[in-house]
Every structure is written in structure tokens, then in C-alpha cells.
Structure 1
């Protein structure tokens, strides 16, 4: 068995040294030559990144990896933000599967499919407004973020008048180094206070929404879901449920417009939209696995490399999705790629419960855009766009287009 060479200076994770805004980080080049690589986290603490597709799939279900952050001796993600690391809530079995079952049922593929006409109506409404104000627009602000917020808040039961604050709260909640510790604490406090008031209101006047359903489960059987756990999961659903989908939609538009040959394929054959969405999810991984940090309860061997017990481990989906042992021409965008087994939604016990909703939103929005605007194009070269920095999801700051 071996470990990574100790004389090397560990790279900083998350990786972010991109040759251009469209390219994957340079640090991913040659990364899979070693199955596990030592890294330095934003906090300055050490960690390990697992690099290969098959290793990651196996470890996603390995009970020796846990997410319990109750010990103060474990490596920290950042100095100023614990993100999803709440020692009062378990993200491990048996508590985590219990909660997942509730959310997965609410976001089943069948229930999500029934939402498609509603999401289509939202997309049409947003594009009508964009078109009326045209002939140019920022698609991130005109479509991606309002669609994500309104879809998720509608599902959860958040009143429309309360949705305006979620962008700021989300940025702070997912901050790596954009906000100070004081700002993170203040905005997270505002968010948690809002959720407490919202849950109290839903308890008094329940509706046909996910939050009301979770409250009913908690109040019928307190052993299934504690009050604090209820508040935590509502917060997580609000924060994680729209940010990644909104940023993926923006990135999908940019990436497709920057690859005219692939764009032409989808325009000629709209039935390729679902496959194109899967390929765009594989190709543009916008987030590291910082929030999904796992810790080893025992030594784990990965391809001959030993990761010691008590280590912070990150299963690099951004590396797995470009594994040449799994994907043919992994560095190329292929909207007609068959059997696309990307890991952007993870796998195993932590497979994204909202994946069906995200897919449906992306398919609906992207298909409608291409159908309505055959001449849709960026108003500036794609290479001149910028990405958000200092936050967990490194989406594009704007997507300026004309049609």
C-alpha cells in the first residue's frame, strides 16, 4: 500500500484554476493517475480527494465513510462557514434514509412529471416578459434564477412575496470565502428565523405543499422527525434545491451556445433535448464536493492508496464525470452521447432526491428556449464571461444574450 508522495505540496480543494471560464480546472488533468490525492481545504486543514469513477461509486455506499461532524477534532471545510455540517442533525443511517424517503416520495418522477405543465407555464411567462423588454437580456436573471426559485418555493409552499430574500440568504449559506463569518452568521440567522416563522404558519394553516406534509409527519410521530430536524431539512431543501438547478441552466445555455455544432444537432432534432441535458450535466460540473464532505471511521484503501481514519474525504464527481475508463472522449461535449452514466446527482444512499425535478426544469427551459429563439446567441464571446467565486456553486455571473 502507498500514500501520495509526502514531499509534494497538496493542491487546494476545490479546484478552480481554469484556463478559461468554459474549461474544466487544470488540476483535473492527470488527476486520475492516482486514485486518491491529498489536498488542502479552504480552512487550511488537510483532506483527500478520490479521483476515479468506479472507486467513487463504491465509496458512495461504504459505511466506513460518515458525515457526522460532532467531533471537533475533524478537519473543517472553511473557517467561517459550516454549511451543511450541523452536529445536531445526522446525515448518516438510520436517520438520513428516514428523511430521504419522505422527500423522495414528494419528489418522485411521477409527481414531478405532473408539474411539467406548471413549469412550462412559468418558463413561457418569464420568456414573454424577457421578450417584451428585449432585444437583449441576461438569461440568468430573466429565466434561470426566477424559474428555480418560483418552482421550488411553489413546491414547498413559500409565499411569492417572501421569495425575494432567498438569493442573498443562499449566497451566504453556500459561501466559501465571499462573506465574513459575521455576515454568514447574520444571514443564516435570518434564514433560520424565517423558516421557523414559516413552519409555524404552515402548522396553523397547512396547505398542499411539501413543508405542510413534513410538518404532518413530524406532528403525528415525533420519533420520526424532531422539530429541529424538521427546520434543518426545510432549510436544506430551500438552499440546495434551486441554486444548483438555476446555475446548471445558465451553464447549459452558455456551453451549448459556445459549441455551435452540438447546438445545431439539438436544433435539428429536438428529441435530443433530454440527452443533451444529461451531457451538459456531465460536462459542466459547477460545484465541488465541499458540502458533501465525508470522514473515515477506519483506514480505507483506494487503489493501493491508504486514506487514514479520521480523514476528510471528497468524492470528486467532477473528476469521475471525465474518467476516460467510463466515457469515450470525456473532454468533448456530445449532446447525443448514449448511456450517459454521469455522477452529477451522486449515487447510492445520497443520490439527489431532487434529480427528477432538476431534469424536468432543465429539459423544459432548454427545449423552450431553442424552440422560441432559433437565432439565440451570446452578445459577448463566451470566453469573456465570468464565474461566481467564493461560493460553493461556481455558476456564471450573467448570461447576456440576444435573439
Structure 2
């Protein structure tokens, strides 16, 4: 296929092939972000953890993995529940009350969760939160505004590195600074990029998907009724919603073959770009029965929404916990929740990396 910028790439859609590419060291993320590389966006992608290859990626990922452990996430679940409860109590309630779930629930929840979990002061959000819309923009903002927003967020995190050295905390971010200073391996800018990447991912992806999930449930009333009758099925339902719901507004993150590789009988030459489509893999009829149907009771669900291999999503367990707790609270404590506008009049964000509702007005 021909990408919007930079030329041609191979599109890979089958689950087994996509999974194989995501864990195959012969495909490079770092080589995919050059100024002349085939890509979906006009501007080359900014460097970050997601665009590094081993051994550098392995070393930096090891720094982050120490804090994003399943045990630490499990200990944090009660705090997520507290935040969900506080936001529900604060939101307008009563007969006919209309709430924009994006601004009054999903975004503040995602922001507080990732900030508290990583040790980034949520009280500082005015320094970085207003810039995130431009950072994840593809065409909604001019290139110079996108670049300025990236630099603005980065400068905040460089400042946060300095603050951690002056007044150390026991947070994830503080530990990251100390571990790096002991090893002397990363510049302050590189540390800032790591913190920036983790926080914006926690803000944007989880809040977007939470609203996408609620929209899907409200437009699939039979599935929603079954979940309300059996809230213990929420974890399984979240996995199906993750499989079914595309997060990105484009086909997938390109990689470049570093040597000749055969995929599904097709020779990929060294230097050629490949787009492994997680979205297509999640609808592969060889793996998923009736893949185009939302089935909250689905048991066999090896979806690739969080990727696979070295770039498996660092915050996957935190995102799962947040989505499970938030959805269970919404379906049990707001049993009459419904869309406040016709489904076909919903406003969706445009010109963004994320596929998300611009607003999600609900009545409860």
C-alpha cells in the first residue's frame, strides 16, 4: 500500500503474522521514524521509548518495569476506586442530569490515576494537560503548534527532574531519576521524554477508551443489560471491549525490515517498511469466532491491543485496573445511564492520533 507520506509499505493483517512481527528482532521501530520513512503523518514521529530498538530499549524499559509491576498496580486499585467514587459523587446527578463523561469523569480520572501512580504532581496539570490535544494531533493543529506543545511538555518534565534532585520523593518518577543518576546513562532531556511518554499515554489512551467503551455499551443495550445483571463479568467484558474497539485513527505503527524476511509467503526486503495492523489482527476469523460481533462473554481472547513482544504496553495492567473499576461503578451506580443525544449525532474528535469521542453527553 502507499502511505500518505514517504512512499510504500507492506500491510500485514493476520493475527499470527502481526504477533510474529511485533516480537521479531529483524524489524526495527527506530528505523521507521526517519524524515523520508513511509509514514501516516506529515511530521516525522518524535523519538521516544516506543521508537527504540534493543539494546537501548531493553535498558530503558528495565528502568520503567521496576515500578509498573502487577503487584504495585494491585496495591493501587483501592486508590483508583476512591477516585472513581469521588468523581461520581461530584458529577451532577438526579432525574435528567446530563454529564459530559469525557470532561467530568474519564479525563480527570485518567489524569489523576497516572499522575499519582507515577509521582507527577496532579496540581501541576495546568502546565502540561492543556498541551496534550496538540501533542496527539495529526491535522487538528498546525505543525508549529504541535512542535511548540511537545517542547512545552518536555520543558515541564525537565524541570521535574531538577525538582526531584533538589527534594527527592519516593515516587516512580523520583526512583527513575535516582536510578538513572546512579548509572549515568541518560540526559535530563531523555529522562523527561520517558516521563512525558508515560504520562501522556496514561491520560490519552485510557480516557479515550473508557468513553469509547461506554458509547459501545450504550449502543448495545442487550450486552449492557447482561453485564448489569452480572457485574462480575466486567474483567472479561473489558478484554472484549479492548479487542473490539480500535484506539488509533491510523493503521498501525510502521516497522522496517533490517534483513530479508518472509511473511505469509511474501518476501519482505531489507529496508522495506511494514505496517502490522493490530486492529485487523483483533478481527481475524482464524482466531476469533464471529470477530465483527461484540461478545462480552467471549472467553478465548488473545487480542493484541496492548501489542506483543518488547513493546508490549508498559501500563497495560494499570489501564486494565482503571477500566474495570470505572466501568463496574458506572453500570452499577448509574443503572439508568443513557446517551443524551442520538447515537448518529455524536461528535467525534478529528485530526487526532486517538479515535475518541469529542464529547460524550450522558443522562443518568
SS at match of 2:199: helix
Match of 2:24 in 1: 62
2:89 aligned residue (120, 124, 128)? 128
Query: Among residues 191, 206, 220, which one is paired with 2:182 in the alignment?
Result: 220
Q: Is this contact kept in 2: 1:74–1:310, CA < 8 A?
A: no
* Residue aligning to 2:107: 145
Q: CA deviation at 1:79?
A: 2.2
TM-score where L is the length of structure 1: 0.85
SS at match of 1:292: coil
The residue matched to 2:91 in structure 1 has which SS? helix
- Correspondence for 1:157: 119
1:20-64 superposed Cα distances (whole Å, 9 cap, x missing partner): xxxxxxxxxxxxxxxxxx2323x3533232111000111111111
Q: Which residue of 2 aligns with 1:74?
A: 37
- Which secondary structure state, in structure 1, belongs to the residue aligned with residue 10 of structure 2? strand
C-alpha distance in 1, partners of 2:273/2:142?
23
Structure-1 separation of matches of 2:237 and 2:51:
36
Q: How many residues align?
A: 362
Confirm or deny that 1:326 pairs with 2:287. yes
1:107 to 44, 64, 68: 68
Unaligned 5+ segments in structure 2 are: none
What CA distance in whole angstroms lies between the structure 1 residues aligned with 2:349 and 2:267?
35
TM-superposed CA distance for 1:75, in Å, is: 2.8
CA distance in 1, matches of 2:52, 2:281: 23
State how far apart, in whole Å, the 1-side matches of 2:46 and 2:230 are: 41
Matched-pair contact (CA < 8 Å) for 2:251–2:279: no
> Which residue of structure 2 lines up, in the alignment, with residue 309 of structure 1?
270
Rounded to whole Å, the distance in 1 between the matches of 2:136 and 2:261 is: 29
Q: Do the aligned partners of 2:306 and 2:312 also contact (CA within 8 Å) in 1?
A: yes
Partner of residue 307, structure 2: 346
Distance apart, 1:195 and its partner CA: 1.0
8 Å CA contact 2:158, 2:191 repeated in 1: no
> Which residue pairs with 1:30 in the alignment?
none
Counterpart of 1:394 in structure 2 is 355
Query: What is the deviation of 1:299?
Result: 2.8
SS at match of 2:11: strand
CA distance in 1, matches of 2:127, 2:163: 18
2-structure distance, mates of 1:155, 1:85? 24
What residue number does 1:40 align with?
Answer: 3
* Counterpart-to-counterpart distance in 1, 2:281 and 2:79: 34
Name the SS for the 1:122 alignment partner: helix
> Is this contact kept in 1: 2:6–2:36, CA < 8 A?
no
Q: Which residue of 1 aligns with 2:45?
A: 83
How much does 1:307 deviate? 2.8
Contact 1:289 1:315 in 2 (8 A): no
1:277 is matched with 238
Residues of 2 paired with 1:316 and 1:122: CA distance? 34
Match of 1:243 in 2: 204
Query: Please, which runs of 5 or more residues in structure 1 have no aligned partner?
Result: 1-37
Q: TM-score, normalised by structure 2?
A: 0.94
- Taking the aligned partners of 2:214 and 2:77, their CA distance within structure 1 comes to 20
CA contact (8 A) 2:7 2:37 kept: no
Alignment of 1:192 onto 2:154? yes
- Cα-to-partner distance string for 1:279-323 (whole Å, 9 max, x where unaligned): 111111121566733112123322122333222322110100000
